[in-house]
């Protein structure tokens, strides 16, 4: 019998993530230089500190047994307290106490799980989510599967343009659709994909806009700070989350994937009180708690001082790699400015490259094919745009360049190959 399966609406909408095909490409053609994969630097992975944390957990039978047992849905209270303390220390404008804050912290299976749970808790089909344009495309896929309407807000060097955000919210109000807006999503630190952070002087005002327009229902701000900590010079402004003095509007999403190891797949969030119990209940449905052993491991790493050391190492590694990208772009395409331009990241893993708009960077376009022939590829920029962009359109002439994985000589060679194709297409 060949009866069709009957998928749920969510199952039908799930589709294949845009990135799967690029990952297949990278695995099937290892000779290509991938400036696409958003993976971390392979050589930086902290084998020694993970090993010593592991040994110290296993050295004591009682601690080993409790680490090997189930934990709680919200996560290890000692780890949550340690994270709350770190959050308090890095937030000069936070005046609460770490013990209370720890009650609002939850541990998740990567920050991706928190993004999913928040969308699950808030977004019904037809609801509106506002994002930066460009934004983290995996979140766009997730929102599409939930049937959300996504509106993108253009960015400049300081991240999301608040004037456009305000206009967008005013327009939705005039159309009587403000009641559909559930959240504003910002990849606030060294963004994936643009490499740019939300400017310090936009952080407070963004929270204020969310509050001002929360007339029908609360409009949350989802502060995806996945790359926080990775500023090359170690200086980062107070987080977007810390500008929400009342703690009622901003959901803060963090991860150890970028600052320690994606293989342990742990993240954490700080949630407003009125959302926390719902999100915890949903997490209960997913997995009733992230891997307890991994939580003990990261706690041990933090307590041993290894986590801070690892972040310092990563800053130096990614600084060099980012400089290599930018310098090579300068050498090979500097004379093509301003029709060819790129962002200069101050942290994180990404550079956003713009070419003249007649050069279509799509996956199925001639430019992408020519890059493959040269032995290099990237993430097409259009994956990172929602269908609707406030006051503009979905750009089709941009690329996300990730310098996480390749070594510096490969980065140099990859950018040279890319520049060669760009020049050929400019004519
Ligand atoms: C902006 C952003 N948010 C969230 C994630 C999710 O990462 P993880 O689930 O490993 O924490 C990523 C991963 O690349 C990301 O780039």
pLDDT in tens, 338-349: 999 999 999 999
Return d(Cα 117, Cα 334) in angstroms, integer: 43
Pocket of ligand 1 (CB under 6 A): 38, 110-112, 136, 187, 192, 224, 226, 255, 257, 262, 267
Instruction: Please indicate, yes or no, whether residues 206 and 330 belong to a single structural domain of this protein.
Output: no
Instruction: Please indicate, yes or no, whether residues 85 and 218 belong to a single structural domain of this protein.
Output: yes
Instruction: Please indicate, yes or no, whether residues 398 and 410 belong to a single structural domain of this protein.
Output: yes
Query: Model confidence at 68, in pLDDT bands (50, 70, 90)?
Result: very high
Count of the separate structural domains present in the chain: 2
Across the chain, which distance is largest between two alpha carbons, in Å?
Answer: 69
CATH number of the structural domain spanning residue 351 = 3.90.1150.10
Contact 358, 397 (CB under 8 A): yes
Task: With residue 142 as reference, give the H or E element that holds it.
Answer: helix 137-145
> Could you tell me the residue range of the domain that residue 141 belongs to?
50-307
Mean pLDDT computed over 128-136: 97
Last residue of a domain, one of 286, 307, 328: 307
User: Is 1 among the domain residues?
Assistant: no
Partners of 221 in beta bridges: 184, 250
Instruction: Please indicate, yes or no, whether residues 55 and 40 belong to a single structural domain of this protein.
Output: no
Return d(Cα 368, Cα 374) in angstroms, integer: 10
Residue of minimum CA distance from atom 14 in ligand 1: 38
Instruction: Please indicate, yes or no, whether residues 99 and 210 belong to a single structural domain of this protein.
Output: yes
Last residue of a domain, one of 249, 273, 307: 307
Ligand 1: which of 115, 118, 138 to mutate, most ligand atoms within 8 Å of CB? 138
Residue of minimum CA distance from atom 3 in ligand 1: 226
CA nearest neighbour of 51 among 261, 229, 291, 292: 261
Lowest mean pLDDT among 152-161, 381-390, 410-419: 381-390
Query: Model confidence at 359, in pLDDT bands (50, 70, 90)?
Result: very high
Return d(Cα 73, Cα 162) in angstroms, integer: 36
């Amino acid at each position: 019998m060949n009866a069709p399966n009957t998928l749920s609406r969510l199952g039908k909408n799930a589709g294949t993530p845009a990135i799967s095909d690029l990952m297949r490409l990278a695995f099937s053609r290892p000779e290509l230089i991938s400036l696409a994969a958003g993976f971390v630097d392979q050589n930086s992975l902290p084998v020694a500190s993970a090993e010593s944390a592991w040994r110290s957990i296993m050295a004591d039978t009682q601690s080993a047994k409790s680490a090997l047992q189930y934990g709680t849905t919200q996560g290890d209270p000692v780890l949550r307290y340690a994270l709350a303390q770190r959050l308090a220390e890095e937030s000069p404008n936070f005046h609460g106490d770490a013990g209370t804050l720890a009650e609002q912290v939850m541990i998740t299976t990567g920050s991706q799980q928190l993004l999913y749970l928040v969308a699950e808790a808030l977004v019904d089909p037809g609801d509106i989510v506002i994002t930066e344009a460009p934004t983290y495309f995996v979140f766009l896929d997730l929102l599409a599967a939930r049937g959300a309407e996504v509106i993108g807000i253009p960015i400049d060097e300081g991240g999301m343009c608040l004037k456009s955000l305000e206009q967008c919210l005013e327009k939705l109000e005039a159309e009587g659709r403000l009641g559909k807006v559930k959240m504003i999503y910002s990849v606030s630190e060294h963004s994936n994909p643009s490499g740019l952070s939300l400017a310090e002087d936009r952080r407070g005002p963004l929270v204020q806009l969310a509050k001002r327009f929360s007339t029908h229902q609360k409009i949350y701000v989802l502060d995806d700070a996945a790359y926080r900590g990775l500023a090359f010079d170690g200086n980062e402004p107070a987080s977007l989350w810390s500008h929400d003095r009342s703690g009622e509007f901003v959901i803060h999403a963090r991860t150890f994937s970028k600052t320690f190891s994606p293989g342990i797949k742990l993240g954490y969030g700080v949630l407003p009180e009125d959302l926390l119990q719902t999100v915890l209940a949903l997490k209960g449905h997913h997995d009733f708690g992230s891997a307890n052993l991994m939580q003990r491991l990261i706690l041990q790493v933090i307590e041993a001082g290894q986590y801070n050391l690892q972040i310092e190492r990563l800053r130096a590694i990614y600084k060099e790699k980012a400089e290599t990208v930018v310098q090579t772009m300068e050498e090979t395409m500097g004379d093509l400015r301003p029709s060819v331009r790129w962002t200069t990241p101050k942290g994180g893993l990404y550079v956003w490259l713009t070419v003249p708009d007649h050069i279509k960077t799509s996956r199925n376009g001639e430019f992408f094919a020519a890059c493959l022939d040269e032995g290099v590829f990237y993430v097409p920029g259009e994956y990172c745009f929602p269908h609707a962009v406030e006051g503009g359109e979905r750009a089709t002439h941009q690329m996300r360049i990730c310098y996480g994985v390749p070594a510096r000589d490969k980065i140099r060679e990859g950018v040279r190959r890319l520049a060669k194709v760009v020049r050929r297409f400019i004519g």
